[in-house]
Copies of this chain bind each other. A is one copy, B any other.
Amino acid sequence: MEHKKALIKESGNTSDGIYELLRRKILEFTLLPGETLSENTLAAELGVSRSPVRDALSRLVSEGCIVVYPQRGTQVSKISLQRVRQFVFMRTVLEKQVLAELCATGIAEEHFEMLEQSLMLQRQHYETQSTSELLYEDLRMHQLLYEFCGHKSAWVPFNMLDCDMLRISCLQIRTYSYNVTMAAVDSWENALIEHRMMFDALRKRDTQAVCLLCSRHIEQIVWSGEDLRRIYPQYFELDIA
């Protein structure tokens, strides 16, 4: 317990530390979707008062990571495929525009090198099964694309709304790491190949190819989500769709 407290205190104020701790635990499935939480219990476990816990929870609510039922309880939000579809729609449309602009203007060689390096790191993390690092690097690569075409800050909202998508990615990696027999359908292997193909198309400034690859790549997340819902229905919202 005191150990956790020490970790929390590191990042400036207590509330921020709790926020980051809980967010990480949720995205890594240490706290499972649907699991109930309690301000009192959390505060006791972390050795702090309820105030910073409330602050942290409040922020997680605004990101859709947890849900609070007044006077009844708090729980880790279940993954909503509806939210995921909304998210995917937005990212697809925006990212196609970003890539189209990059094809139109071309990319500086130094920028290409940064992308290549990111892709290399991704493969590395993939082979060593460093889940968190892989996901982080994937996000960073997409972020770079926004940055290179002058829409750096248009990525920002996604950092607030990607809770469900990150959990799907994480769950997917875990599932297909443990079931080696299903390695054939491991779509992360696929994702890395698609990234490579996107780079090639970008070099050739082939707008159509890039956009097509981008759509398929992002929409893959929805398919993964639907697969995973069949395996872990308890982790998913039963939204009518």
A residues neighboring B (CB under 8 Å): 13, 54-55, 58-59, 62, 70, 82-83, 86, 89-90, 93-94, 97, 151, 153-154, 156-157, 160-161
Contacts and interface: CB of A to CB of B under 8 A. Distances in A.
Contact of A151 (B13, B89, B94, B160): B89
A89 B58 contact: no
Given A62-B62, A70-B13, A94-B94, A89 B55 contact: no
A157 B62 CA distance: 11
Contacts of A13: 70
Contacts of A54: 55
Given A13-B70, A59-B62, A94-B94, A83 B153 contact: yes
A154 B70 contact: no
Secondary structure at the A interface, as helix, strand, loop or mixed, is helix
Contact of A89 (B59, B154, B160): B154
Contacts of A89: 151, 154
Given A58-B58, A70-B13, A86 B161 contact: no
Contact of A154 (B58, B59, B86): B86
A90 B157 contact: yes
A172 to B, nearest CB: 23
A165 B59 CA distance: 23
Contacts of A82: 153
Contacts of A153: 82-83, 86
> What are the 6 tightest A-B residue pairs by CB atom distance, in nearest-first order?
A86-B153, A62-B62, A93-B97, A86-B154, A58-B58, A89-B154
A151 B156 CA distance: 21
Given A58-B59, A93-B93, A157 B157 contact: yes
Contact of A86 (B62, B83, B90, B156): B156
Nearest to A86: B153
Nearest to A71: B13
Contact of A94 (B58, B59, B90, B160): B90
Nearest to A94: B93
Nearest to A155: B86
A67 B104 CA distance: 38
A82 B161 CA distance: 20
A157 B151 contact: no
Nearest to A59: B62
A151 B86 contact: yes
